[in-house]
Amino acid sequence: MLVLGVDPGLALTGWALVEADGGRLRLSSAGYWRTAAGAEPGARLLQLWDQMGEILVRTRPGAVAMERLFFSRNTSTAMAVSQARGVLVCAVAKAGLQLAEYTPAEVKQAVTGSGSADKRQIARMVRLILDEAGLAGPDDLTDACAVGICHQHALGLQRAVAGAATGARG
């Protein structure tokens, strides 16, 4: 299944298409959307809406996974991220797609084995898991890859549990 991982933000939103290919995960494509700091907030949110809608139509992922806003010391940043996240969630709902949400600690745990991993550790593991040694870009891009990996791992666990339950009944 192709999963679109998203790290939401008003200034910068990272996205990554992570695909399960046999027993491995691979990066199909990734990027980020940047909105102009001086633009009206509504225009910036509309830009994110349009970009999310376009990628959903173009790539047709089986699921979308997004980082949940968990904590922020900066209230104005948290509000902007919440607004961006809301627009992105609505675009996913409009497309009729399944949305999975993960806290930053859940993503870190799934990718590195530690819920308190730092950005360097996450980036290193993302490159290793996806076999993308040259993956470069802002942290938001790496974080989107990590969210996609997290959801792929969750899907794998769900399949394993379903298979074990079926085997136990058979």
Q: 3-49, pLDDT tens digit by residue?
A: 999 999 999 999 999 999 888 999 999 999 999 999 999 999 999 99
φ and ψ at 101, to 5 degrees?
A: -125, 140
Catalytic residues: 7, 67, 140
HSE-up of 93 (CA within 13 Å, CB side)?
Answer: 6
Domain span including residue 83: 2-169
Cα distance between residue 34 and residue 44, in whole Å: 9
8 A C-beta contact, residue 5 and residue 110:
no
Q: Find the CATH number of the domain harbouring 162.
A: 3.30.420.10
- pTM score, two decimals? 0.90
Residue pLDDT, tens place only, 38-69: 999 999 999 999 999 999 999 999 999 998 87
* Kind plus residue range of the DSSP H or E element containing 86: helix 75-94
* Total domains in the fold of the chain: 1
